[in-house]
Structure 1
């Protein structure tokens, strides 16, 4: 995973303060427009868990919320695993159905879009289409989309959050079943609005450039 800029300031937070900070940033986005929020991180950071913790505070702020996981928008196994089950390049470039995710989830929340989102497209475990129904996200609604390697694909979003791990922490914390993906993360350069240092989830820190 790419390194941090040379000159940065790091603001330590508690997990609760991180949630409050992100909720405030999301709620500051214009109403009644929709807000597409991408939460990105390697498996040890559990970006889906953080997305889940934002749901109730945002609803309490009067924002309808829809949770979607990029893991429900993987390509069929015949495409995803064309070069084997453990190919880091395929994992990085070919696993995610970027077109399907954009068409079914992100584009409908463009200004003037329909607001009708398909929350799940492909069941990777069963290798068949999900049977999900379309969901309509109301005015001022927030889409919380979690996944890994989302932020170098130019997906449209109003706010993007990257949970950053140092190379050492990524190496130590990566679950055994995903260790083969480490080479893919080595060259990953995410473009995020908010970067959170996440070596220790109990002690996250906001990262910003020094003025």
Structure 2
């Protein structure tokens, strides 16, 4: 294992290069996964413009727009870490409305948002079509042990100490949900210090 320190800009460039190396004759489903404290959506957002500059159509989707209704999500209370880990995200909805349509031969028609958790109602947004060679950028937390299909997965890793330190007090109840979560992403990024990330290379030439 080799740990390669990077700047934030270098990390963005590395991920963009990995994505652009994916075949252009099919859609690329990319996930940026990490604890809420890592703000995975911020890294996913930073990838959009560089990819578009390379001629890649991009569609941004967030798992927070695919939460289950409150009656299901909060069945065991508002601060249950097991529910937070296993049943908050509507993985069936993500598959049906986002990931499966981007399979080879799929329609390419994606629903960017399924549920508005603030209003606890369906989002009522229209479908968006992702063009040929397009990239889906999905961000979320605890997504890489749910058998979801991706062409490239990025995980922002925090040490236990950094996770506890950077998690707001009102979300401290979520910390047990990350216990034992050990995904095997395509790109593993040490993210204890967001301005000084480090890429973990596990394969020679990776």
Please give the range of the TM-score, normalised by the shorter of the 2 chains.
Answer: over 0.9
**What is the distance in 1 between the residues matched to 2:169 and 2:27?**
38
Say whether residues 1:196 and 2:189 are aligned partners: yes
Say whether residues 1:43 and 2:36 are aligned partners: yes
Q: Which residue of 2 aligns with 1:110?
A: 103
What secondary structure does 1:68 align onto? strand
Q: Which residue of 2 aligns with 1:5?
A: none
Q: Which of residues 68, 75, 85 in structure 1 aligns to 2:78?
A: 85
Q: Which of residues 169, 174, 187 in structure 1 aligns to 2:167?
A: 174
Say whether residues 1:152 and 2:145 are aligned partners: yes
**What is the distance in 2 between the residues matched to 1:145 and 1:74?**
14
C-alpha deviation, 1:210, in angstroms: 6.2
**What is the distance in 2 between the residues matched to 1:79 and 1:33?**
35
Give 5+ residue unaligned stretches, structure 2. Answer: none
User: TM-score of the superposition, structure 1-length normalised?
Assistant: 0.95
Say whether residues 1:23 and 2:21 are aligned partners: no
Q: Which residue of 2 aligns with 1:132?
A: 125
**What is the distance in 2 between the residues matched to 1:134 and 1:67?**
13
CA offsets, 1:175-200, max 9 Å, x none?
Answer: 12211010010121212110000000
**What is the distance in 1 between the residues matched to 2:183 and 2:123?**
29
CA offsets, 1:16-59, max 9 Å, x none?
Answer: 00000000000000012100000000011110000000000000
**What is the distance in 1 between the residues matched to 2:171 and 2:48?**
28
**What is the distance in 2 between the residues matched to 1:143 and 1:118?**
12
What secondary structure does 2:75 align onto? coil
Q: Quote the RMSD (CA, aligned, Å).
A: 0.8
**What is the distance in 2 between the residues matched to 1:21 and 1:210?**
16
Q: Which runs of 4 or more aligned residues in structure 1 lie more than 6 Å from their structure 2 counterparts after TM superposition?
A: none
**What is the distance in 1 between the residues matched to 2:59 and 2:147?**
21
What secondary structure does 2:93 align onto? helix
Give 5+ residue unaligned stretches, structure 1. Answer: 1-7
